[in-house]
Amino acid sequence: MFDWEQHGTIETHHYRGYYDAQLVSTSLPRRMTTCAFCGRTIRYCYALHDQHEKTFVIGSCDFHPYEDTKTYEYLKAAQLLQEGIDSTREEKAKC
């Protein structure tokens, strides 16, 4: 599934950013975002750069290979931000 030859090893991956795929608007038909590792459809997306500075996206379902790396710390921090933003959005919607 994941192309290790193209993307390189875990140590060569660097955190790039995050986004909520549900909020991405486009005039084109909606395309589901999938995790580069497992292929699952993901809502909360975490973008990484590979060894060639090419971007790929994972979900929190596949943070585990990054444990004990700086990238893991960035991924977990982004996840907390996503959860906080989502929680705030839900609270505002109730008002």
Q: pLDDT tens, 13-41?
A: 999 999 998 866 555 556 789 999 999 99
CB atoms within 10 A of CB 77: 12
Please give the Cα distance from 43 to 17 (Å, whole number): 14
SS3 labels along the chain: CCCHHHHCCHHHCEEEEEEEHHHCCCCCCCCCCECCCCCCECCEEEEEECCCCCEEEECHHHCHHHCCCHHHHHHHHHHHHHHHHHHHHHHHHHC
Residue 33, pLDDT score: 92
Residue 84, pLDDT score: 87
